[in-house]
C-alpha cells in the first residue's frame, strides 16, 4: 500500500507552496495597494482564499476523494479535456519557472552581482529535478524538513522590538494607496496565497485519516499568521511612506540584525528563503507533470521529471530583467487566480454531470 500523507505534512507542504518570492515584498504590496494599515487587507484576502479552499473541500467531498482527472474524465470526453490539460500544464510550468527565476534574479542582485543568473538557475533546476523524480510523499517530507530549516528565522523577531513603534501604523485605514484601490492591486497581493489550489493534486494521496482539509486550512492560516507577524513588525519598524518605496522590506529588516559575531545577517538569511521558492516551483512542476502524465498514460512520472524540469529551465530564459520577471509573474498569477476560483466550480458541475451520466 502506498503511504498516505498525514495532516502535519499536508499543512507544512501547503505553507511551503504558498510561500514564495512574494514574502519579501508583501509589506510593500499591501502598503502600496491597500494603503495605511494594509495588513488588514491581507487578512481579508486570506479569508477569501480560505473560502476558495472551502470550495475544493466540496469537490473533495462530492467526489469521494477521487482525483480531479477522474472527476473530469467521467463527465467529458478526453479529446475535449486534453487541450485544457495542456494549457494548464503550460501555465503551471510558467509559474514554477517565473517564481524560480525571480528568486534567482533577486539573489543575484543581492549577492552575486557578476554571476550569470542562468547559472544559478541551473542549480536551482537541479534541485527541482531531484525532488520531481521522487513521489509526492517524499516531496512533502522534504518540505517538512525545509520548513524547519527556515523556521529559526522567527527567532530573529525579538530583535526588532526595540526599534518598533505602534505610532507608525497611523490611525487611518486604507488611505494613500499608490494607485488607489483597484482589482489589479488586490490580485497582486492575493498572488501571495496562490498555490493552495494545488491541494487538488493531493486528493489521491490521502484517505479519511489524513484529514486533508484540516491540514490545508492549518497550512493556509499558518502562512497567513507568519506573514501577518512579519508585516506587523514591518509596519512599526519602517514608516508607512517608506514601506511603499522599499523594494524588499523584509530583507532590509534582516539587514538591521547585528550580532556580536556576525552582521549583515540578510545575506545569510536569503538563501534560506530559497526553500520556499523551491517547493513552490517543485509543486507547480508536479502539477504540470501530472497533467502531462495524464495525456501520456504509458510514460511513467519518473521519466517525465526530466523533460518537465527542462521546460521549467527553458521558460526561465524568458524573463531576464526584473521588470520582465514582474510582468510575467503578474500575468501567470492573475491567470492562476482565475483558475483557482474557476476550477472547483467547473469540477462541481462536472461531478453533477458525471453522476447524471452514470445514472442514465
Partner 1 sequence: MRAAKGIGILLIAAMLGGCTDQKVLEKIGFTRTIFIDSADGDKDKINVTISIPKTNQSESIVYSNVARTFKQAKVYFDMQNDRRVVLGQLRQILFGGNLARKGVWPHLESIFRDPSVGIRTHVILLEGDIDKLSTRKYTQGGTMGEYLDNLVRTDPTSRGVYDTSIHTFLRDYYDDGIEPLANIIKGTANGLMVDGVALFVGDRYVAKVPSDDAMYFAMLRANLKYGTLVMEEVDTAKESVPASLSNVVSKRSIRIKSVPDRRSGKPAEAVLELKIRGSLLEYYGHESLNVAANQRSLEVAMEKYVGGRCERLIRLMQAAHSDAIGFGQRVRNKMDYQSWKRLNWSEEFPRADIKVSIDLDIKDFGSLAES
Residues that bind partner 1 (CB under 8 A): 36, 109-110, 112-116, 119-120, 122-123, 126, 163, 167-168, 170-172, 175-176, 237-242, 245, 252, 255-256, 258, 263-264, 266
Nearer to partner 1, 87 or 122 (CB): 122
Q: How far is the CB of 276 from partner 1 (least distance, A)?
A: 20
Does the CA dihedral 54-57-63-68 come out positive or negative?
Answer: positive
Strand, helix or coil for residue 298: coil
Q: How far is the CB of 170 from partner 1 (least distance, A)?
A: 6
- Measured CA to CA, the distance from residue 71 to residue 353 in angstroms comes to 10
Nearer to partner 1, 176 or 204 (CB): 176
Under a CB-based contact definition with an 8 Å cutoff, are residues 13 and 143 in contact?
yes
Nearer to partner 1, 85 or 103 (CB): 103
- Measured CA to CA, the distance from residue 112 to residue 110 in angstroms comes to 6
Q: How far is the CB of 244 from partner 1 (least distance, A)?
A: 8
Residues ≥6 apart with Cβ < 8 Å to 1: none
Nearer to partner 1, 3 or 241 (CB): 241
Q: How far is the CB of 114 from partner 1 (least distance, A)?
A: 5
- Measured CA to CA, the distance from residue 121 to residue 119 in angstroms comes to 5
Q: Which residues pair with 258 in a beta bridge?
A: 263
Nearer to partner 1, 242 or 301 (CB): 242
Nearest to 30 by CA among 39, 43, 21: 39
Q: How far is the CB of 130 from partner 1 (least distance, A)?
A: 11
Q: How far is the CB of 115 from partner 1 (least distance, A)?
A: 4
Nearer to partner 1, 207 or 258 (CB): 258
Give the cell for residue 163: 526599534
- Measured CA to CA, the distance from residue 252 to residue 265 in angstroms comes to 10
Amino acid at each position: 500500500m502506498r503511504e498516505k500523507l498525514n495532516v502535519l505534512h499536508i499543512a507544512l507542504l501547503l505553507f511551503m507552496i504558498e510561500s514564495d518570492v512574494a514574502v519579501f515584498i508583501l509589506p510593500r504590496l499591501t502598503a502600496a495597494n491597500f494603503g495605511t494599515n494594509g495588513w488588514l487587507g491581507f487578512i481579508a484576502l486570506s479569508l477569501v482564499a480560505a473560502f476558495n479552499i472551502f470550495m475544493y473541500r466540496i469537490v473533495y467531498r462530492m467526489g469521494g476523494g477521487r482525483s480531479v482527472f477522474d472527476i473530469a474524465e467521467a463527465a467529458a470526453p478526453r479529446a475535449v479535456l486534453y487541450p485544457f490539460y495542456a494549457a494548464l500544464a503550460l501555465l503551471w510550468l510558467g509559474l514554477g519557472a517565473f517564481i524560480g527565476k525571480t528568486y534567482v534574479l533577486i539573489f543575484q542582485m543581492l549577492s552575486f552581482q557578476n554571476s550569470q543568473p542562468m547559472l544559478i538557475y541551473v542549480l536551482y533546476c537541479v534541485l527541482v529535478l531531484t525532488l520531481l523524480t521522487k513521489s509526492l510523499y517524499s516531496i512533502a517530507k522534504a518540505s517538512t524538513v525545509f520548513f524547519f530549516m527556515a523556521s529559526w528565522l522567527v527567532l530573529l523577531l525579538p530583535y526588532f522590538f526595540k526599534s518598533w513603534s505602534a505610532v507608525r501604523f497611523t490611525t487611518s485605514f486604507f488611505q494613500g494607496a499608490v494607485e488607489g484601490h483597484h482589482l489589479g492591486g488586490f490580485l497582486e497581493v492575493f498572488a501571495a496565497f496562490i498555490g493552495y489550489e494545488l491541494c487538488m493534486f493531493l486528493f489521491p494521496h490521502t484517505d479519511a485519516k489524513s484529514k486533508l482539509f484540516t491540514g490545508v486550512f492549518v497550512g493556509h492560516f499558518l502562512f497567513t499568521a507568519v506573514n501577518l507577524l512579519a508585516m506587523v513588525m514591518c509596519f512599526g519598524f519602517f514608516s508607512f511612506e517608506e514601506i511603499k518605496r522599499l523594494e524588499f522590506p523584509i530583507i532590509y529588516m534582516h539587514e538591521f540584525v547585528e550580532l556580536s559575531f556576525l552582521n549583515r545577517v540578510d545575506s545569510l538569511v536569503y538563501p534560506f528563503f530559497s526553500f520556499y521558492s523551491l517547493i513552490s516551483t517543485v509543486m507547480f512542476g508536479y502539477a504540470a507533470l501530472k497533467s502531462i502524465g495524464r495525456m501520456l498514460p504509458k510514460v511513467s512520472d519518473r521519466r517525465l521529471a526530466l523533460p518537465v524540469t527542462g521546460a521549467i529551465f527553458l521558460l526561465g530564459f524568458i524573463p531576464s530583467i526584473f521588470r520582465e520577471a514582474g510582468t510575467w509573474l503578474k500575468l501567470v498569477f492573475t491567470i492562476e487566480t482565475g483558475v483557482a476560483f474557476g476550477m472547483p466550480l467547473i469540477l462541481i458541475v462536472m461531478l453533477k454531470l458525471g453522476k447524471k451520466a452514470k445514472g442514465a
